[in-house]
């Protein structure tokens, strides 16, 4: 079992930055692939970024590439999402997710565990 708790969301002006954190519990964290997804009102949950268990492989959606950076600290059992140059269209609830296995997927159905989400609101 892996439990995930997100933090770091909030209200920011366009062009600003936020860093989300996802604290995990469970002995298998270091072997999990971790992902960040987001869901805006009335829209489906969409992939934002993912990172392999070693941190050596990452993937980003086209909409966040170049602005967001995913990283992880296995010693602290935490994964981060640094979000820069935020835009109003980035407004959503952001979810941390974990999957057993080494491959990175953008499909939320491939992930086994989910956090409760943290709200990010970007004002124009």
pLDDT, one tens digit per residue, over 37-90 is 999 999 999 999 999 988 889 999 999 999 999 999 988 889 999 999 999 999
CB 41 within 8 A of CB 52: no
**For position 29, what pLDDT does the model report?**
64
pLDDT above 70 coverage of the chain, percent: 96
Largest pairwise CA distance in the chain? 42
pLDDT above 90 coverage of the chain, percent: 81
Comparing 55-59, 79-83, 114-118, 120-124, the range with the smallest average pLDDT is: 55-59
Q: Quick one: pLDDT band at residue 30, thresholds 50, 70, 90?
A: low
Backbone angles phi, psi at 26, to 5 degrees: 125, 140
What would the mean pLDDT of 109-120 be, rounded to a whole number?
96
Q: Quick one: pLDDT band at residue 100, thresholds 50, 70, 90?
A: confident
Give the single-character DSSP code of 107: -
Question: What is the number of other CB atoms lying within 10 angstroms of the CB of residue 13?
Answer: 10
SS3 label, residue 5: strand
């Amino acid at each position: 079992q892996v439990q995930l708790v997100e933090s770091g969301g909030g209200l920011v002006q366009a062009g600003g930055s936020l860093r989300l954190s996802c604290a995990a519990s469970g002995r298998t964290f270091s072997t999990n692939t971790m992902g960040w997804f987001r869901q805006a009102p009335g829209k489906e949950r969409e992939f934002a970024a993912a990172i392999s268990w070693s941190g050596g492989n990452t993937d980003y959606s086209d909409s966040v590439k170049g602005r967001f950076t995913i990283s992880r600290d296995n010693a602290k059992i935490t994964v981060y999402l640094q979000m820069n140059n935020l835009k109003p269209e980035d407004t959503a609830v952001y979810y941390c997710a974990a999957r057993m296995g080494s491959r990175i997927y953008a499909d939320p159905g491939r992930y086994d565990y989910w956090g409760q989400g943290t709200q990010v609101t970007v004002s124009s």
